[in-house]
């Protein structure tokens, strides 16, 4: 049975976002945030997680990239939380050790209801693909809080900043794919997450 399509809309003085997510999709992906490299990273996430994902954003990019990236993370996190909370069964935990050329990134997730991000993204450039490198960690932190997930991302090593960013999004995709997949057993001793 196909999973439901989750719709999240957000309108503030800084951004206007329309987001549609179906984690049981066919990789139908349409993303336009106005930030090319960020679109590319979100496309990697959706493609490798096997989602249908549509994101349309009007953001105050004349200010900078912060509000757009943060608000997309809020919306995507909200959609993920609604998705996993509505599932009858799931693995709950997911992890991936992702090679991206010379970079190697560890990612682990727990669909726990506790929004926590722990990471060590020590970029060596201030900008990556026209995006402030500090915004990648801010994206993952905001996503984890709003999705109600525990998220750890730890690069083992890297030389190329593009590969570090892309490897993180791909590793997250596979970790989420595993965590959201069906389970035949109990995934908590508490009886409820």
pLDDT tens-digit series, residues 99-112: 999 999 999 999 99
**What is the fold, at CATH topology level, of the domain defined by 6-180?**
Ribosomal Protein S5; domain 2 (3.30.230)
How far, in whole angstroms, is CA 62 from its chain's centroid?
Answer: 24
Per-residue pLDDT reduced to its tens digit, 25-45: 899 999 999 999 999 999 999
Domains of the chain, by residue range, sit at 6-180
Does residue 49 surpass a pLDDT of 70? yes
Confidence at residue 1, expressed as pLDDT on a 0 to 100 scale = 41
pLDDT of residue 111: 97
Angle subtended by helix axes 66-86 and 161-180, to nearest 10: 20
Contacts of 31 (CB under 8 A, 6+ apart): 39, 42, 43, 46, 53, 54, 55
For the chain, give the mean pLDDT. Answer: 94
Q: How far apart are CA 18 and CA 27, in angstroms?
A: 18
Q: What is the pLDDT of residue 88?
A: 85
User: Per-residue pLDDT tens for 126-146?
Assistant: 999 999 999 999 999 999 999
């Amino acid at each position: 049975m196909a999973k439901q399509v989750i719709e999240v809309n957000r309108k503030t003085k800084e951004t206007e976002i329309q987001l549609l997510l179906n984690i049981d999709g066919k990789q139908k992906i349409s993303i336009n945030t106005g930030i090319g490299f960020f679109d590319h990273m979100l496309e990697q996430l959706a493609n490798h997680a096997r989602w249908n994902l549509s994101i349309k954003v009007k953001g105050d990019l004349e200010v900078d990239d912060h509000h757009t990236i943060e608000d997309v993370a809020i919306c995507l996190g909200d959609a993920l939380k609604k998705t996993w909370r509505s599932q009858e069964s799931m693995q709950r935990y997911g992890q991936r050790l992702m090679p991206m050329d010379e970079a190697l990134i560890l990612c682990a997730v727990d669909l726990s209801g506790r929004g926590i991000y722990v990471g060590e993204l020590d970029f060596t450039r201030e900008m990556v693909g026209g995006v402030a490198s500090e915004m990648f960690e801010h994206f993952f932190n905001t996503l984890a809080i709003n999705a109600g997930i525990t998220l750890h991302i730890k690069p083992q090593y890297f030389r190329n900043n593009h590969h570090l960013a892309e490897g993180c999004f791909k590793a997250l995709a596979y970790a989420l794919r595993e965590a959201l997949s069906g389970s035949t057993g109990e995934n908590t001793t508490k009886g409820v997450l």
